[in-house]
Amino acid sequence: MIRIKGLIKKFRHVTALRDLDMTVPAGTIYAFVGQNGAGKTTTLRISAALLPPDGGTVEVAGCDAVKRPRAVREIIGYMPDFFGVYDDLRVGEYLLFYAAAYGIRGPEAARRRDNLLELVGLGEKREDFVDTLSRGMQQRLCLARALVHDPPVLLLDEPASGLDPLARVEMRKILQELGRTGKTIVISSHILPELADFCNYVGMITGGRMVYEGPITQMIAAAQVQQIVLRVAGKKVPARKVIEAWPNAEVVKLTDEQIELRLAGGEAEAAALLKELVQAGAAVTHFARTEQTLEDAFVQIASEVK
């Protein structure tokens, strides 16, 4: 659905994108992750035909974003990381205004307005003024605005930024529902644990370059880092000495009850460490891996490409 090849973008003396390649398969919910300043927002703006690149190509559903920007804007719904609202418009009027910008008026515009407000949970706020809404409600209204022309592709830049936990849950449910309708969704975010709950594809960008792209499950498996919880009876000193001397192990958290550690390698590495612990006299009562997360994989890959 989206194919980016050799994308380059410079801002004076700063190169934001360096020969970036990116492929977003149709129908996927794509997590676009990276540190602040990695180039995520620049990539989305170019893909939405809002910013010209200095090199490379961007195609959305076969349309060139540089040569056919109007066609791309009809295909894409773009939600920026920062957005403004019109203080003197009511919620329903706000959506009708943007529907008219796409040539949608009359009964069809009213139908879309009502359906979208129900989708984002703002049906009862239709007559409220936009500036009276909470941050979370304004975020959901902005998402409805991006959907007003029923685009097959959504580009969402930090859609949960600044939201409280409940508002983030509500936003995630909406995005899951949109994913079930078959839309292709690209979500730029730094809240990695939440992305893993509903995204099925991931692209990781560092310094303007794509350093990993593929199914989320494969990224987590490829990281080859285990989180292990260790409990011992009696003194922890023998166990700590073994772990601190082990080349592929790192203590993450130490409490009175247990030791949490990060261990590179697979099952053979874990078995070897456990054997060494027992031989060193540690009375091991619990040694188990915890589930690897997207955040764990992100941290490891980021450290490897520095």
pLDDT at 266: 73
* Rounded CA separation 170/148 (Å): 19
When mean pLDDT is compared over 30-34, 268-272, 294-298, the highest value belongs to 30-34
Q: Inform me whether the pLDDT recorded for 286 exceeds 80.
A: yes
- Residue 260 sits in a domain whose CATH number is 3.30.70.1150
Range of the domain at 151: 2-215
Given 215, 238, 261, the domain boundary residue is: 215
What are 83-114's pLDDT values in tens digits? 777 778 999 999 999 999 999 999 999 999 99
Whether residues 210 and 248 fall in one domain: no
Q: Tell me, rounded to whole angstroms, the distance of Cα 235 from its chain centroid.
A: 42
Q: Do 213 and 302 touch, CB atoms closer than 8 A?
A: no
Whether residues 186 and 269 fall in one domain: no
pLDDT at 189: 81
Across the chain, mean pLDDT equals 88
> Bigger pLDDT: 247 or 59?
59
The closest alpha carbon to 72, from 82, 80, 62, 81, belongs to 62
Whether residues 30 and 93 fall in one domain: yes
Q: Inform me whether the pLDDT recorded for 31 exceeds 80.
A: yes
105: Cβ–Cβ under 8 A, 6 or more apart, which residues?
99
Whether residues 42 and 106 fall in one domain: yes
- Residue 10 sits in a domain whose CATH number is 3.40.50.300
Count of structural domains, the chain:
2
Q: Inform me whether the pLDDT recorded for 306 exceeds 60.
A: no
Whether residues 32 and 90 fall in one domain: yes
pLDDT average, residue stretch 213-217: 85
Whether residues 64 and 197 fall in one domain: yes
Whether residues 202 and 290 fall in one domain: no
Whether residues 126 and 250 fall in one domain: no
Instruction: Identify the band that residue 220 occupies on the pLDDT scale cut at 50, 70 and 90.
Output: low
Whether residues 38 and 107 fall in one domain: yes
Whether residues 256 and 208 fall in one domain: no
> Bigger pLDDT: 194 or 276?
276
Beta-bridged to residue 31, according to DSSP, are: 187, 202
Whether residues 209 and 236 fall in one domain: no
Whether residues 18 and 99 fall in one domain: yes
